[in-house]
Chains A and B, each alone.
Chain A
Amino acid sequence: MLNIRDIMETITMIQEENLDIRTITMGMSLLDCADSDIDRSCNKVYDKITRLAEKLVSTGEDIEHMYGIPIINKRISVTPIAMLAAVSGGDPVKYALTLERAAQTVGVNFIGGYSALVHKGFSAGDLALIQSIPEALASTEHICSSVNIGSTKAGINMDAVALMGRVVREAAELTKDRDCIGPAKLVVFCNAPEDNPFMAGAFHGVGEPDCVINVGVSGPGVVRAALQKCPDGDLTEVADIIKRTAFKITRMGQLVGSEASKRLGVPFGIVDLSLAPTPAVGDSVAHILEEMGLEICGIHGTTAALALLNDAVKKGGVMASSHVGGLSGAFIPVSEDAGMIAAARSGDLSIEKLEAMTAVCSVGLDMIVIPGDTTAETISAIIADEAAIGMVNSKTTAVRVIPAIGKQIGEELSFGGLLGQGPVMALHNDRSSAKFIHRGGRIPAPMQSLKN
């Protein structure tokens, strides 16, 4: 029989340390729904989603009960809608409303994939979709959008970067009476993964099977609790503890993903080895860094501590799962992490430090509230900087910033739920990057892309 200490360890992780499966995400291709008539296309999209995902939520709940482990979100990712818009033409917002209706029918938390991939340029459907994003996000609740504007192979499409600065601002303005929730559902990527189960950046890439189950795990609280038991160990010991803990967390993801795949009759794609925080106390990535010995997240040493954490999570997780993918790493979304919120409020965590941190961990400048008078060009410049880090380091980076329309430093936005709340953070708003952004064109792919 199993060791009693092992059994109690698992129970403590789930009951007291917030171990959970963050998301089961069903990825599905909508390519076979494309039709030259947009209304027919929307009908096919609705039918396919509601058919394939009919039992997604109830199956997730059954697995929760069977294993006694919470599965926080059940979600769907779909083919980038720009591809359907390319075939059908017409107003892409119709697709957003169709996806919203499907999300409500099947009861999922989010559908991701109101997306376009424009890292080398715009093709049919892309521009119309991108320009419709603010309206689509304002008129739906459960739809997430993402745009890939750069990659290591292609370089950075600076015309798209310039456009996205305006789109982010407009998305905030259209939802200013709802704490500017629009851009909280919009991610601008460099090197976007095609199998990411996490929102807001999930979409179903064209190289994926027709339907697939991807799983995202979580457990910052578990890692922190494990480190608390080793207050004086050196950093090699710290890395080993994180690896062991990540292994156990990921095994949960593997188990739940395999079971969901079996029950739904859909192939199992990947486990995303991520430490995804929530605003709940005891579920913070920042607190892990502080447990390592930093007085507060954001001070000198934070980047090194995060690099250690991120690497150890991957090393521990990779052996626990048959296929690893998605974003896989520690997330640092400011408004979704109690420790990050505190550090941002106290002024110890700046956007410059966050940018440095994104070079060594998963994703990028995530869920950062910026002053309401920030220009579109400045937002574009933030996107360009972050994309450059991703492009040169052959990693995924992203920007999800929320201009707090009508608000300034010292004020806060509150989105509710897992999206959390955050203070307006300072930018270099007194100087302009406008000329650089208005040049447009493409930043050529770096030498790192020439691997053949």
Chain B
Amino acid sequence: MRAIISVVGQDRVGILNRVSGACAECNANIVDVTQSVLQNMFVMVMLVDITDIRVDFDALTKKMSALGEEIGMVIHVMHEDIFNSMHRI
């Protein structure tokens, strides 16, 4: 099972470090990372494998959301299926 972690906000030092650190704490394996600037906002998207995560999915979502507040970014964790079903035929 895989999830997409999206991080949006003002670019600054250490974002990738903090988010990937939180992933490691939950044993979520980062499969791919891509980042870009959309409409003057920094956007980072991570594809993570959550098959063996140590917490349940809900807890991971909450943890990331709290981390986002701490570092001044908006972080969402969503199941990969939702994107695949919407954007792939």
Interface residues of A (CB under 8 A from B): 1-8, 10-11, 15, 65-69, 248, 251-252, 254-255
Contacts and interface: CB of A to CB of B under 8 A. Distances in A.
Given A4-B36, A67-B78, 8 more contacts: A1-B32, A2-B45, A7-B4, A8-B43, A11-B8, A66-B57, A67-B81, A248-B86
B45 to A, nearest CB: 5
B38 A2 contact: no
Contacts of B34: 1, 4
Nearest to B78: A68
Given A4-B34, A11-B6, A11-B76, A69 B82 contact: yes
B83 A5 contact: no
Interface string B63-83: 000000000000011111111
Interface residues of B, number: 27
A65 B45 contact: no
Contact of A252 (B32, B57, B80, B85): B85
B82 A252 contact: yes
A423 to B, nearest CB: 38
B17 interface: no
A10 B82 contact: yes
A78 to B, nearest CB: 30
Contact of B58 (A8, A65, A252): A65
A6 B43 CA distance: 12
Interface of B: 4, 6, 8, 31-32, 34-36, 38, 43, 45, 47, 57-58, 61, 76-87
A65 B57 contact: yes
Nearest to A259: B81
25 contacts: A1-B34, A2-B4, A2-B80, A2-B87, A4-B36, A4-B38, A4-B45, A6-B83, A6-B86, A7-B4, A7-B83, A8-B43, A10-B83, A11-B8, A11-B76, A65-B57, A65-B58, A66-B57, A66-B79, A67-B78, A67-B81, A68-B78, A69-B82, A252-B82, A255-B82
Contacts of B6: 7-8, 11
B39 to A, nearest CB: 9
Contacts of A11: 6, 8, 76, 78
Nearest to A65: B58
Interface hub of A3, A67, A248, A254 (most chain B Cβ within 10 A): A67
Given A8-B38, A65-B61, A68-B78, A252 B86 contact: yes
Contacts of B32: 1
Nearest to A19: B86
Contacts of B38: 4-5, 8
A11 B87 CA distance: 12
Nearest to A6: B87
A15 B6 CA distance: 12
Q: What 6 A-B pairs come out closest when comparing CB atoms?
A: A68-B78, A255-B85, A6-B87, A251-B85, A1-B32, A65-B58
Contacts of A7: 4, 6, 45, 83
A5 B39 CA distance: 11
A67 B35 CA distance: 22
A8 B44 CA distance: 10
A166 to B, nearest CB: 48
B66 to A, nearest CB: 15
Nearest to B83: A2
Contacts of A254: 85
A68 B83 contact: no
A15 B77 CA distance: 12
Nearest to A64: B58
Contacts of A10: 78, 82-83, 86-87
A242 to B, nearest CB: 16
A68 B77 contact: yes
Contacts of A252: 82, 85-86
B60 to A, nearest CB: 10
Contact of A255 (B8, B43, B58, B81): B81
Interface hub of B31, B38, B47, B83 (most chain A Cβ within 10 A): B83
A8 B43 CA distance: 9
A66 B1 CA distance: 11
B36 A68 contact: no
Contacts of B35: 4
A446 B4 CA distance: 54
B79 A68 contact: yes
A7 B44 CA distance: 10
A65 B80 CA distance: 13
Nearest to B80: A2
B29 to A, nearest CB: 14
Contacts of B86: 6, 10, 248, 251-252
Contacts of B36: 4
Nearest to B4: A7
A66 B84 CA distance: 14
A66 B80 CA distance: 10
